[in-house]
Structure 1
Amino acid sequence: MPLSEQEQKLLDEMERSLYHNDADFVSAVNAGRGKLNYGALVLGILLSVVGLVVVIVGVITHLLIVGLLGFVAMFAGVLLALRPSKSAVGRPVSGPRTASSPSGAASKTNLMDRLNERWDKRQDREE
């Protein structure tokens, strides 16, 4: 169900306010985004499956240490699978461009940034 015009304006205003007032939060959220490391993902899934098998073997044999080792292997596999790629960790995160930021590289701004700038200019003219 699409948003009404008033709801869309309110949502846009809230988004601009978030970008302007809480840039640290926006950059922290954007820092988590990046390319998947497929090698680590596959290795983590395999390690988790092996860990699950070891846990099941530990339950069947009633050996606590085998079950714990399997759990540790499963946990390590999940952490490995969810690890961000090195390019995403070392990559600097730039927030959205605003009207007050330097626009020397205007060709690099994406569509949403340009639309937000146009919206801000329109709102300034109406006031």
Structure 2
Amino acid sequence: MPLSEQEQRLLDEMERHLMQNDADVVSAPAGPQVLSYRNLIIGALVVLAGLGAVIAGIALWGTSLPVGLILGVVGFAAMLGGVILAVTPVKGAVPTATSGGAQPSRAPRQGTFMDRMNDRWDRRQGGDS
């Protein structure tokens, strides 16, 4: 059963409103993010060095308060920076193919959302209109 003109206008208005208000969802990157193994290794090493600095800061806390405090803060900052470095995706990298082989490319979408939905409905119902 097709939509009435009022229902069609209301649906189009809702669709436009959704696209305007959820621009961050619409503009989100479509492809998977690629992490660099080099960044992961360097980030892990920086985190370990920061952890060592925090432990050294705790050990020095009793003998020299300012040195222990500074070393602990620097160690924490190093650990935070190492984690950020490790999880930052590489810009402009192309993801490698998985063991399943190359993925088939999808045909570009044409028409509005409602046109595509109507086409899908027609194919399900066996109609050619």
Report the TM-score when normalising by structure 1.
0.53
**Identity score, percent:** 39
- In structure 2, stretches of 5+ residues that fail to align are 1-14, 62-67, 94-106
- In structure 1, stretches of 5+ residues that fail to align are 1-16, 89-95, 102-116
The alignment covers a number of residue pairs equal to 85
For the residues of structure 2 that align with 1:120 and 1:24, how far apart are their CA atoms?
Answer: 27
Query: Which residue identity is paired with 1:71?
Result: F
Structure 2 match to 1:28: 28
1:60 Cα offset (Å): 1.3
CA RMSD of aligned residues (A): 3.2
Structure 1 match to 2:92: 87
Aligned pairs (5 A) from 1:97-108: 97-100=108-111
Runs of 4+ in 1 over 2 A off after TM superposition: 20-24, 96-99
User: Helix, strand or coil for the counterpart of 2:30?
Assistant: helix
1:87 Cα offset (Å): 1.3
Q: 1:83 to 1:25 in 2, by over 3 A?
A: same
For the residues of structure 2 that align with 1:37 and 1:76, how far apart are their CA atoms?
Answer: 16
Instruction: Confirm or deny: 8 A CA contact 1:99 1:120 kept in the other structure.
Output: no
For the pair shown, the structure with the greater C-alpha radius of gyration is 2
Q: 1:120 to 1:87 in 2, by over 3 A?
A: farther
Q: 1:83 to 1:120 in 2, by over 3 A?
A: farther
Give the number of the structure whose residues are more often helix, by fraction: 1
